[in-house]
Amino acid sequence: MRCLPDVSARMGTMVLRVDVSSALLEWAIERSGIDRSALARRFPKLDAWEADTVSPTLRQLEEFAKATHTPVGFLFLSEPPVETVPIPDFRTHADTSVVQPSPDLLDTIYQCQQRQEWFHDYARANGLPSVPFVGSCTTETPIGLAASNMREVLGFDVADRGSTWTEALVHLSENAEHAGVLVMVNGVVGSDTHRKLDPLEFRGFALVDPLAPVIFINGADTKAAQIFTLAHELAHLWLGETGLDDVVPSARSTNAIERWCNRVAAEFLVPADALSQNVTSSNNLVADLDRLARTFKVSTLVILRRLRETDRMSSDDFHDAYGDELQRVLNLASRLTDTGGNFYNTQPVRVSKLFARSIIVSTLEGQTLHRDAFRLLGFRKQSTFDQLTHRLGVE
């Protein structure tokens, strides 16, 4: 890439233009997933840049990089880079059609890694103990034993789950945080409501660390799906295995880690003995699924899985019903919107309440710079920091 000086006759000033490869421009557009016509309206000379008849100014290139969520340094390369997910990828489609991770996914992982790094240093500096259950199991650990241990640590019996899926999700998240896990639930990238995360790309991930275990849940998904994802990622922590997941509660994964985590999550949420006590004879499968889903605060997909695993449904009936139910759940998820709500209520959930309280305390004690706290918490103003401090009850 070359930087070309261009003297403006009218202003008598020099404008720095950048000779950028058309292949890189095309790559950035495709990578962003943004409609090309929308970018062309914002950058009227985009066609000319790609045709190499005129080069963008440095300022224009920086604005283009920002608009396409592309690190500007990438546009100075000689050819498009090959980006990969920076953590183990356990998504069921990872070996087939998905090659290029979206910038939304990558930015979300990087943000969580930065918060984890900060909390790890904070925990070590303040003498916080390691989280004892991280890495306490292997894939040889019996499913029932692992699920029982999770239930004992997290206190998530069926009777404790509240009356709605939202109450159940909040209860499980808060109990996980009390046990030392940073649980982050967000449906957008950071605080940018224009960058909605896609549940079809990923549903969650776990970042293992004995001092700072992190779970991220895609908040654009249904509440029932988020509950299963959270249970699945908790199982990842019990295994001590970092990973990115799409977490479809199907028993057909070829990966031993995913099979184990799925089975543990299913038994954790819908214990076989409790299911037996709640199953009744009926000729209306849909009504039965809805009733059991409400009882256990899970999705009907999880109930279907458990009915098959406990031999209450044949393999053929399971696969027929699962396909129909999966489509219904995906349609429901596609209609969800993240309106943001009250910032001071949603932001601690997005970054983890445990993390938010810790970094606020550290900042007030002078251990962390305000600018670093603002960046990691996702805002820029002192007044926002003060208000969030008050809302979280930090003295």
Q: Domains of the chain: which residue ranges?
A: 2-76, 103-334, 343-391
Would you tell me which CATH number, out of the four given (2.40.50, 3.10.50, 1.20.120, 1.10.260), belongs to the domain 2-76? 1.10.260
Taking the CA atoms of 224, 155, 149 and 288 in sequence, report the sign of the dihedral they define. negative
Per-residue pLDDT of the chain (395 residues; tens, 9 = 90+): 555 555 444 455 667 888 899 999 999 999 998 999 999 999 999 999 999 899 999 999 999 999 999 999 999 998 999 899 999 998 875 445 456 899 999 999 999 999 999 999 999 999 999 999 999 999 999 999 999 999 999 999 998 899 999 999 999 999 999 999 999 999 999 999 999 999 989 999 999 999 999 999 999 988 999 999 999 999 999 999 999 998 776 556 778 999 999 999 999 999 999 999 998 877 788 888 889 999 999 998 899 989 998 988 888 888 888 888 777 766 765 665 555 568 888 899 999 999 999 999 999 999 999 999 999 999 999 999 999 999 998 86
H or E element at residue 182: strand 182-186
d(C-alpha 345, C-alpha 392), whole Å: 9
pTM of the model: 0.90
Give the count of beta carbons closer than 10 Å to the beta carbon of residue 53. 9
In sequence order, the β-bridge partners of residue 196 are: 188
Alpha-carbon torsion angle 53, 55, 56, 57, nearest 10: -140
Q: Are 321 and 330 in contact (CB under 8 A)?
A: no
d(C-alpha 108, C-alpha 219), whole Å: 12
